[in-house]
Amino acid sequence: MIRASGLTKRYDDFTAVDGIDFEVARGESFGILGPNGAGKSTTMRMIAATLLRTSGDLTILGKDPSKEGPAIRAHLGVVPQQDNNDAELTVRENLYVYGRYFGLPRSYLNPRIDELLAFAQLEDKRDTKIDALSGGMKRRLTIARGLVNDPEILMLDEPTTGLDPQARHILWDRLFRLKEDGATLVVTTHHMDEAEQLCDRLVVMDRGRIVAEGTPASLIREYASKEVVEVRFGSDRNAEIAPLIADIGQRTEVLPDRILIYTETGEESLQAIVARGFAPVTSLVRRSSLEDVFLRLTGRTLEDE
Amino acid sequence: MSLVTRAPVSSPAVDRRAARRGALYVAEYRLRSMWKWRRSIITDGLGNPILYLTSIGLGVGSLVNANLGPTGIDGVPYLVFLAPALITAAAMQGVMNEIMFPTLAGFLWDKGFFAMRATPISGGQIADGLLIAASARIVFTTVVYWFVLLAFGAVGWASAVTLIPVAILAGLSWGAVMLAATANVKDDSGFISLAMRIVIMPMFLFSGTFYPLSTLPLAVQWIGWISPLWHATELGRWLSYGMAMPAWQVAVSVAYLLALGVVGIVVARRRFERRLTT
């Protein structure tokens, strides 16, 4: 469905995307994980055929976006980072108008819009103006809008950023249903839990480059230990204590507010720390996540910048 | 219910047709939005001519007529002299509402153009679609204005086929220019009020609207010469009551309005395209 090699986007003296390679197959749910400014959105816009690449090869649905942009866009569904529905129109009108941009006839759009309203759980909001919707509803409307043309690939840029936990879970549930239906999804996110929920396979981007690629589980296996112990001694003492317990796990990361100890056996490691006479203010033993993978690969947390 | 595995709804032929008609789809959307504002568009369309004709046409006109006697300006009553300028100015003001606000909204406020751009529609087609929809407002404003002028006795029936087209041409031409000008606005704070103060007001006041341009000092007459309002008003006066206008000047004014419109839309298309692909 998508094939990129050496894909590069340069603005004057700034390289936003620096020669990346990846492929996405039909029915796959592909994630691009990285902090803000890693080049995720730029990559998405190049795939969406709304931003021309500087160099490298890019094929979407077998076509070159520099030459056949409109023909590619006709078969993509795009959910941008920022909702951009028309505030003057109702929920239903937004879907209708957007469908018209694809040249779709009324006879197709009317039943299609009913389906999409049901999917987005917005049936009783169909004649409501956008202003009156909650953030989660607006997001679901934008996703429904992205499906109006029955796209071959649905592209979601930070689909749940800025939503409250409940709204995020409703949205993940909807997206998961699409995945079960066989949709090809491309998702960018800087939330590791989102990537773990939605993506079959993902790449980790940092400063315009791909620094790792794999399934969420394989990345965790490769770049992190099985478990993590998080201990806090108070911001002044973390750096001071860290070297004294560094030998307990396989690896230690010192963050401003806590120390992370990567280990196969979390509880035992925690006991070992306490046994040395260091009593943490708070402690937590958890499974490793993509957040840890990212920290390992880039030395920064995802929420940084 | 299946959301993604249904039969494809488009074929290459459908895609190509859709891609060709993009501007019409944008216009269709704009007309739908304008329909939501129909009350204020109608109030503006009717209120504007009635207020101007009553206050300036009749009020100021009675002073002018009393001073100049039966010959008036160009040998016609003041109201007749004023009518072509007012209808043209109304067409130009009306189009600005349908060009500046949607353009700022599309690029800056709700970023709707970026949503359109994710479909087969191109930036140039968005510009075209805006102007097509705005022309509906121009036609509405102009026709309503003309009927009010007729009711006030400021124009004759024959001017329907001459004065109205000139006002529409001026509106379209000015709409294209404003489209190009608004397309590059990155920060809207004050853009509209600045445009009003340094472009629209001087143009309205110094384009021979209320008195012949030749009565102004030469130092400010140039404002009229570059003003599409002046060119359209001159043409309107020539067509409406037979004001003396040499053939070369007719040609220059028509060519000027056409050229502004063509340059405006070409520049606007390019700016829309660039802003939506970088």
Residue from the list A85, A93, A150 with its beta carbon closest to the beta carbon of B9? A150
CATH code for residues A225-287:
3.30.70
Q: Which residues of A touch B14 (CB under 8 A)?
A: 103
Instruction: Enumerate residues 121 to 180 of chain B having a beta carbon within 8 A of any beta carbon in chain A.
Output: 121-122
Question: Which residues of chain B have a pLDDT value below 50?
Answer: 1, 4-8
- The answer to whether the CB of B26 falls within 8 A of the CB of B121 is yes
pLDDT value, residue B9: 55
* pLDDT for the residue B3: 55
Q: Give yes or no for B39 touching A (CB within 8 A).
A: no
Chain A residues touching B2 at Cβ < 8 A: 181
What is the pLDDT, as a whole number, of residue A31? 94
Mark yes or no for CB contact B119/A73 under 8 Å: yes
In chain A, where are the structural domains located?
Answer: 2-220, 225-287
Q: Measure CA A99 to chain center.
A: 26
Residues of A in contact with B120 (CB under 8 A): 70-71, 73-74, 101-103
- Contact of B13 with chain A, judged by CB distance below 8 Å, is answered with no
Chosen for mutation from A1, A60, A61, A102 (greatest number of chain B CBs closer than 10 Å) is: A102
Give the residue on B whose Cα is nearest the Cα of A49. Answer: B118
> Can you tell me the distance from the alpha carbon of A22 to that of A94, in angstroms, rounded to the nearest whole number?
34
The string of pLDDT tens digits covering residues B40-86 is: 999 999 999 999 999 888 888 888 888 887 677 888 889 999 999 99
The token duo for A31 is: 């994630």
* pLDDT tens, position by position, A26-81: 999 999 988 888 899 899 999 999 999 999 999 999 999 999 898 899 999 999 98
- Sign, CA torsion A116/A121/A124/A125: negative
A70 CB within 8 Å of a chain B CB? yes
Does the beta carbon of A175 lie under 8 angstroms from any beta carbon of chain B? no
Question: Which one, of A279, A277, A234, lies nearest residue A258 by Cα?
Answer: A234
Instruction: Write the CATH number of the domain with boundaries A2-220.
Output: 3.40.50.300
pLDDT at A145 over 90: yes
Residues A15-26 pLDDT 10s: 999 999 999 999
Q: Which of B1, B2, B3 has the highest number of chain A CBs within 10 A, making it the mutation to test binding with A?
A: B3
Q: Are the beta carbons of A75 and B115 separated by less than 8 Å?
A: no
Residue B7: what pLDDT?
40
The residue of chain B with its CA nearest to that of A47 is B118
ipTM entry: 0.85
All residues of chain B having their beta carbon less than 8 Å from the beta carbon of residue A153 are: none
Would the CB atoms of A88 and B36 count as touching at under 8 Å? yes
Contact across the interface for B116 and A101, Cβ inside 8 Å: yes
Say if the Cβ atoms of A150 and B18 lie within 8 Å.
Answer: no
pLDDT at site B70: 66
DSSP for chain B, written as a single string:
--SSSSPPS--HHHHHHHHHTHHHHHHHHHHHHHHHTHHHHHHHHHHHHHHHIIIIIIIIHHHHHHHHGGGTBTTB-HHHHHHHHHHHHHHHHHHHHHHHHHHHIIIIIS-HHHHHHTTT--HHHHHHHHHHHHHHHHHHHHHHHHHHHHHTTSS-GGGGGTHHHHHHHHHHHHHHHHHHHHTT-S--TTHHHHHIIIIIHHHHHSSSSSS-GGGS-HHHHHHHHH-HHHHHHHHHHHHHH-----HHHHHHHHHHHHHHHHHHHHHHHHHHHHHHH-
Cβ contacts of B49 within 8 Å, gap of 6 or more:
B86, B87, B90, B144, B145, B148, B149
pLDDT, tens digit (0-9, with 9 covering 90-100), for A161-216: 878 888 888 888 888 888 888 889 999 987 778 888 889 999 999 899 999 999 98
- Kindly state the percentage of chain A with pLDDT values over 90: 46
Q: Which helix (H) or strand (E) holds A212?
A: strand A209-214
Asked if A48's CB is within 8 angstroms of B120's CB, the reply is no
Tell me how many degrees the CA angle B103-B106-B112 measures, rounded to the nearest 5: 155
